[in-house]
Structure 1
Amino acid sequence: MTIQKIQDRRKLDDKLPSMPWYVEQFINYKLPDLSPSTLLEYIRDYESFFSWMIAEGLSTADQIGDIALLELETLRMEDVTAYRLYLTTRAEGANTRVTVSRKLSSLRSLFHYLSQIAEDDDFYPLLKRNIMAKIEVKRLHKPKDTAAKLKGKILEDEELLEFVGYILEGHRETIAGNKQALYSYELNRERDACIASLILNSGLRVSEVVNLNLNDLDINQKMLYVSRKGNNDETFKTPVYFREQARDELIVYLQLRDTRYRTPRNESALFVAKPNGQSSGKRMTKRAIQAMIIKYAKSFGKPYLTVHKLRHSFATDYYLQNDIYKTKEQLGHASTETTEIYAHLTDKTMSEAIERRKDEL
């Protein structure tokens, strides 16, 4: 298991005992097919819904674990509508449409299992009436809409190289008057440039970067073995290639990884950091990488850039030179439907290319 999956599995195991028995049964049913991270999100969604049921008097239980199946069977359409309204207007922070849709999808999955798959001792469904089957969960993010939001907010053409170059050298001038920031920058600039370059030249997700180990890297073949999202076979890692540019940064970083960060021999992580007050390096966290990219992006004059937009930047550039199927495989998408984003993103570039060709004629 990856580091993140191990942590999420522990959290999942801690939360399950507080859930009703039928939820635990559902989670065990799904465990071979879904990652601990996904199942942990399910549990959090159920906590929210069950807590709301108790607060609204739709259950006589004093705690979540005691909510009865019959209380789920007798929910009415107006109850589900009220819950949706609660999610979008609650005082402590309204959820986005995407989050509401996800939470309702989680409930649909549980209710479907209880009414269509799970059986009691007499071979009847555990749930005799499924109110959630009446709820339509619409797809909110169409590829064309997502592409429209991304246009102008990713790196294009020469900017991919310029951003890495800025991390490696240009940022020094921005922080010249800040001794503490300058010390941190000189310590980490090769590593930071390496991470940015790797994402911009391979399209890896931040979680995939965090989980990389030294033995996952084949520098000569320009290839990494990656634990991909959605793959629950812990013994299998997907080979992912990266461009020559990233190889150059990797070579520089690997030469200083052990000495500069005083990395112990038993630390397998490819990318390490030495936290303040600690004497040796350890695996970088997802949050640290995200904050690092945001910091450089703001100084670079692209405050909207994030780690995931670096992935989008690579994908758009890669798609211009390859077809949708190769792009899908490189990015680790489950279907080409997600990859269609880059077809829409490159529409403008394609039209400009046609015009340039016409001018040449």
Structure 2
Amino acid sequence: MGKKGLHGKNACNQPAQTLNSPFWRGRALVYLKLFFFCRTHIGGTMTLLTQFSEYLISLDRSPATVRGYLTDLSVFSRWLGRDLTTLGPADVREYRTSLLKTGAAAQTANRKLAAIAAFGNWAAQNKILPGNPALNVKSVETVSLAPKWLDKKQRNALIQAMKDDLQKARIRYPRLWLLRLRDTVVVTLLLNTGLRVSEVSNLRVSDILMTERKAALTVRAGKGGKQRSVPINSEARRLLDEWISIRPDSGSEMLFLGQRGEKMQVRSVQLAVSRLADLAGLKDVTPHICRHTFAKSLLDNGVTLEKVAALLGHESLNTTRLYVTPGERDLEEAVARLVG
């Protein structure tokens, strides 16, 4: 049977192969690319950043984390203009000032400084530097803003827009219907499981478990390489059942596929959310807002912070608290209750 993308003939998907070998082969390829990135980006045969990347890999840091550190450190190295073995506290302080002068957002500046601090800590431990040059450099103060989520009315509007879009495609644009179903399933999962956008993109068919009594998905490539299980409610299960039964057979293990039968990329997930939100009359909706919506809905329904943290894959409850910080509307409603 030839490979089929989302515009091909609908065929029942065969059970996915075990993902152990392909998963680790794919992970090894990512790390190999990171390795050669370090070797060639600055020009050295075995640069400090190459060694640092190997250290991060030994700690089982995710490819995204390693890549982010290397990118930020490479930019810093070019700014510094000399060997990183000469790095000192004054350099880091000056770089911090430079970031602020050039208009870098506080979160961006702190991310770059965190990469330098991680490198400095490793370099100090290995006697490459006398100490961590970023140790006493203050992070940039950030303004704490309440997270944005969809309220019940907005969430319902998004769900209705997905239903209308799917029905319209079924009647008027049958060639696009499978794509529309995929997008509907993706957004429904985001709203009902709170997965990160990268976690949705990386889902495999074998990550989905559905029996008469239970439905759950396994996140194998969570942030920091952590694995967790997330229950699937009836709303998401119904759509997942339909999607898996008619998902195109492209030879890929990935649950969600692109138009040519390849893995659905993160950018495609973001565009799907944005398109469907626009149909619902909602602006600036992202997969992360869907994640916040999931967390806030759980809290509003009496789920404990500890359980919400476990479902979101948070190690710290403080991170989860940021997701459910009362918004302006929550505060207005609280004050309104005082009126007898």
- Whole-Å Cα distance in 2 between the matches of residues 68 and 163 of structure 1? 50
Change (3 A) 1:164 1:9: farther
Corresponding residue to 1:106 among 111, 115, 122? 115
Partner of 2:55: 29
Change (3 A) 1:347 1:96: closer
The aligned runs of 1:244-283 (5 Å cut-off) are 244-258=234-248, 263-264=249-250, 266-275=251-260, 281-283=261-263
1:294 touches 1:305 (CA, 8 Å); kept in 2?
yes
Q: CA deviation at 1:270?
A: 1.0
Change (3 A) 1:98 1:204: same
1:87 touches 1:95 (CA, 8 Å); kept in 2?
yes
- Whole-Å Cα distance in 2 between the matches of residues 35 and 284 of structure 1? 19
Secondary structure of the corresponding residue to residue 218 of structure 2 = strand
Change (3 A) 1:239 1:198: same
Corresponding residue to 1:339 among 289, 312, 320? 320
Partner of 2:215: 222
What number of residue pairs does the alignment pair up?
Answer: 309
Partner of 1:48: 75
Measured against aligned partners, the alpha-carbon deviations of 1:120-166 in whole angstroms (never above 9, x if no partner) come to xxxxx22125432231225636xxx232x52xxx2222433431231
Partner of 1:208: 199
Partner of 2:154: 159
Change (3 A) 1:129 1:37: same
- Whole-Å Cα distance in 2 between the matches of residues 76 and 343 of structure 1? 37
Measured against aligned partners, the alpha-carbon deviations of 1:101-133 in whole angstroms (never above 9, x if no partner) come to 111111111112222x11xxxxxx221254322
Corresponding residue to 2:163 among 160, 168, 186? 168
1:228 touches 1:238 (CA, 8 Å); kept in 2?
no
Measured against aligned partners, the alpha-carbon deviations of 1:306-325 in whole angstroms (never above 9, x if no partner) come to 11111111111011120100
Measured against aligned partners, the alpha-carbon deviations of 1:267-310 in whole angstroms (never above 9, x if no partner) come to 111112324xxxxx232111111111111212221111111111
Partner of 1:122: none
- Whole-Å Cα distance in 2 between the matches of residues 183 and 317 of structure 1? 34
Partner of 1:324: 305
The aligned runs of 1:45-84 (5 Å cut-off) are 45-54=72-81, 59=82, 67=83, 69=85, 71-72=86-87, 75=88, 77=90, 79-84=91-96
Q: CA deviation at 1:23?
A: 2.9
Change (3 A) 1:296 1:68: closer
Long gaps (5+) in structure 2 = 1-22
Q: CA deviation at 1:353?
A: 7.7
Secondary structure of the corresponding residue to residue 80 of structure 1 = helix
Change (3 A) 1:210 1:170: closer
Change (3 A) 1:157 1:23: same
Task: Give the alignment's TM-score, normalised by structure 2.
Answer: 0.79
Q: CA deviation at 1:253?
A: 1.7
- Whole-Å Cα distance in 1 between the matches of residues 28 and 105 of structure 2? 29
Measured against aligned partners, the alpha-carbon deviations of 1:158-188 in whole angstroms (never above 9, x if no partner) come to 43343123123147779x9xx8xx5664342
Partner of 1:309: 289
Long gaps (5+) in structure 1 = 60-66, 119-124, 276-280
Secondary structure of the corresponding residue to residue 146 of structure 1 = coil
Partner of 2:39: 17
Amino acid at match of 1:309: I
Amino acid at match of 2:220: S
- Whole-Å Cα distance in 2 between the matches of residues 2 and 309 of structure 1? 31
- Whole-Å Cα distance in 1 between the matches of residues 210 and 70 of structure 2? 40
CA-based RMSD of the aligned residues comes to 3.1
